[in-house]
Amino acid sequence: MGNACGVDFGTSNSTMGWVRPGQQTMLVLEEGKPTLPSVVFFNADDDEVSYGRAALADYLAGYEGRLMRSLKSLLGTSLMDGQTEVAGRSLSFRMLLAQFIGELKRRGEQAAGRSFDSVVLGRPVHFIDDDAVADKAGEDTLAEIARSVGFRHIAFQYEPIAAAFDYESQIDREELVLIADIGGGTSDFSLVRLSPGRAMKPERRDDILATAGVHIGGTDFDKYLSLAAVMPLLGYGTQLLSGVEVPSSYYFNLATWHTINLAYTRKMTAQLAELVRDAKEQDKMQRLQALIEDRAGHWLAMQVEEAKIGLSSEDSVVLDLDRLSPPAALDVPRQLFGRAISHLVDDVGNTVTGMLADAGVRQEQIDTIFFTGGSSGVGLLRERIGAVVPSARKVEGDLFGSIGAGLALDAVRKFA
């Protein structure tokens, strides 16, 4: 048990847990917090690498360099075997993930005052939807990376199951629970029988009635909010003099966290210069051109992400886009956000409905919905899931810590 931990490598945030009698499970990773944002910044000015909040701060401070975020989204895709240019040299995406996970391990061990050689890694129900080969490749790649940074014994657990184990430690009776884990990259669900007595069992397979997942998460909500609200200011949906619509690839790259850097390639820059000359609305295209020349794509994505968070509780927010040229202040109503993500919300709701049907469980049999994951705070999504099982009690867990805590509990079972 002493050398076994749980690691939740997340699309947006990562955590590390270690079970110790009478002490907090979650290890402190940065600035007194148990979360480390899954961000790496290569500072070209100082030739240094920073992680987490420090990486975001360095980027926003204006240092020259390369920001990488949402690296987990690469697992299982063909991009995983590719490379990117960092500070004038090629660096493989595998190496980038290994750098971050190695730093996560180092910080966790420093906080614990000991090394860890055994780990239960969280994984989504599907790294890639409807592709078993790619899904297995995602898990295998993550295992190889974990082994390369010093973990000798590696096991996996579905993230919603891990969240279920954390919730189980807080209840005093048996419940049939729908776990809704809405993270940065995926929405994962499990239907599990939980109780204090069942928690003592070394094998829980019989308690898991069903699992399901879909590759939709917080970064997708960011993407479609950006396309609906912000990208039209930069020419999205406008036309060239020929009557052809401006190619959407620039906007989709800028609106998607892990492809933002693709907008900065020399080829894209040259193509964009030609499009500006041929655009009907040159002012908007010049605004896009200036944004890309300033490499401010991640800054823009951060503003959209903040707007998304604000719209989870407010009827409208104001986006202060002061780095655009010219600057803009954009009023974004919640209704616009709802329309932008409605197709995603429907897909998530249908995933839950399908899981219950596959398990042969009626909605009235479910006692509790346990929400976890940073994106479970999106009101429209929570309402849609709640409508599938309207009689169930709604419980909110630690949005960022439940999975890591559950993985640490599972590490005790697997490696004790």
Q: Label residue 255 by pLDDT band (50, 70, 90).
A: very high
Is the per-residue pLDDT at 1 higher than 70?
no
CA proximity to 406, closest of 362, 372, 365: 372
Q: Above 70 in pLDDT, residue 242? A: yes
Q: What confidence score (pLDDT) does residue 221 get?
A: 97
- pLDDT score of 84: 82
Give dist(CA 25, CA 39) in Å, integer: 23
Q: pLDDT tens digits for 323-358?
A: 999 999 999 999 999 999 999 999 999 999 999 999
Give, in order, the Cα–Cα distances in Å from 333 to each of 234, 313, 340.
19, 11, 11
CB atoms within 10 A of CB 185: 24
How sure is the predictor about 277, in pLDDT bands with cuts at 50, 70 and 90? very high
Question: How much is the pLDDT for 288?
Answer: 97
Q: What does the pLDDT read at residue 88? A: 74
The Cα–Cα gap between 110 and 29 comes to 9
Q: Is 354 exposed, middle or buried (0-12, 13-18, 19+ CB in 10 A)?
A: middle
Burial 125-137 (b: 16+ CB within 10 A, else e): bbbbbeeeebbeb
Per-residue pLDDT at 22? 84
State the pLDDT confidence band at 44, using cuts at 50, 70 and 90. confident
Supply the pLDDT for residue 203: 82
Give the pLDDT confidence of 349-401 residue by residue, as tens digits.
Answer: 999 999 999 999 999 999 999 999 989 989 999 999 999 999 999 999 888 99
φ and ψ at residue 395, rounded to 5 degrees: -130, 135
Q: What is the pTM of this model?
A: 0.89
Residue 149 has what DSSP assignment? T
Residue 25: pLDDT over 90: yes
Mapped onto helix, strand or coil, the DSSP state of residue 190 is strand
Q: Torsions phi, psi of 73, nearest 5?
A: -65, -15
**Cα separation of 55 and 348, whole Å?**
32
**Residue range 122-143: average pLDDT?**
94
Chain CA centroid to CA 364, Å: 31
Q: Which two tokens stand for residue 7?
A: 């690691």
Tell me the mean pLDDT in the region 164-188: 95
Count of CB atoms situated within 10 Å of the CB of 169? 13
Domain 4-173+397-415 has CATH 3.40.50.720: no
Over residues 279-321, the pLDDT tens digits come to: 999 999 999 999 999 999 999 999 999 999 999 889 999 999 9
| Tokens standing for residue 157 | 């657990």
Pinpoint the alpha helices (H) of 7-131. 52-60, 93-112
- Show the tokens assigned to 113: 């005052």
Mean pLDDT of the residues in the chain: 94
Beta strand 48-51 pairing with 39-43:
antiparallel
Lowest mean pLDDT among 194-208, 210-224, 269-283: 194-208
Domain boundaries, the chain: 4-173+397-415, 219-338
Structural contact between residues 216 and 186, judged by C-beta atoms closer than 8 angstroms: yes
pLDDT band at 144 (very low <50, low <70, confident <90, very high): very high
Count Cβ atoms below 10 Å from residue 107 Cβ, excluding itself: 19
- pLDDT above 60: residue 110: yes
Structure tokens of 26?
A: 């979650």
Read off the pLDDT of residues 193-206 as tens digits, 9 standing for 90 and up. Answer: 999 999 888 788 89
